Amino acid sequence: MPLSLHAAFVPSALQMLGTAHHLLNKTQDWCASKGCDEETILAARLIEDMLPFTYQIKSVAEHSAGAIAAVRKGLATPDLNPPPATFDALRDKLAGAKEALESIDEDEMEGWVGRDMRFEFKETRLAFSAENFLLSFAQPNLYFHASAAYAIARSQGVPIGKMDFLGRVRGERA
């Protein structure tokens, strides 16, 4: 049986949303235990020209549920609004994305296969099929931003490891 578009995208997106939520909790708990300033860790970056932790978490939501919304419209454009500025607001952003993904109908997604859509930002215009947008653009971006958030938290001293990034894996049934 071939893998559906839903099966190829949604479970992994939900897994990374869970990872981002877990990273937020671990980072906030660590910050509280160390007495650090939350604004400082939320604004932390790996390097000066890279966007901060808050942006990375926001982008996990944008490249999951935001990608689904873009396919529905046939057009993806970056959300240029500032990221949520608190742990709670970031959790709300992730919760909204999770709710949107959990409500997506598999049949609706299968109806998108072969549908034209495009990405536009400034001078960049990229044409995609819906499935190629989700699997070759949104999904890699989703993993990139989850990984960047992990790396920022780790670089600040948050005691996290590989299993914190992987989140809930989908093992085979015994």
Query: What domains sit in the chain, N to C, each tagged with a CATH number?
Result: 20-166 (1.20.120.450)
Tell me what the mean pLDDT of segment 106-126 comes to: 96
Q: Report the pLDDT value the prediction gives residue 168, as an integer from 0 to 100.
A: 81
pLDDT band at 1 (very low <50, low <70, confident <90, very high): low
Question: Residue 125: beta bridge partners?
Answer: 120
pLDDT band at 124 (very low <50, low <70, confident <90, very high): very high
76 near 120, Cβ under 8 Å? Answer: yes
Tokens of 97: 């994305």
The CA distance from 76 to 66, in Å, is 8
169 near 15, Cβ under 8 Å? Answer: yes
23 near 162, Cβ under 8 Å? Answer: no
Mean model confidence pLDDT for the chain: 95
Whether 144 has a pLDDT exceeding 90, the answer reads yes
Whether 174 has a pLDDT exceeding 60, the answer reads no
Q: Report the pLDDT value the prediction gives residue 171, as an integer from 0 to 100.
A: 74
Record the pTM: 0.93
Whether 115 has a pLDDT exceeding 80, the answer reads yes
Tell me what the mean pLDDT of segment 91-118 comes to: 96
Longest CA pairwise span in the chain (Å): 53
Tell me what the mean pLDDT of segment 63-87 comes to: 96
Tell me what the mean pLDDT of segment 105-132 comes to: 96
pLDDT band at 75 (very low <50, low <70, confident <90, very high): very high
Per-residue pLDDT tens for 16-67?
A: 999 999 999 999 999 999 999 999 999 999 999 999 999 999 999 999 999 9
Q: Report the pLDDT value the prediction gives residue 172, as an integer from 0 to 100.
A: 67
Q: What share of the chain in percent tops pLDDT 70?
A: 98
Torsion angle, CA of 144/149/154/160, rounded to 10 degrees? -90
The CA distance from 67 to 36, in Å, is 34
Sheet holding 116-121, edge to edge: 75-76, 116-121, 124-129
Question: Residue 127: beta bridge partners?
Answer: 118
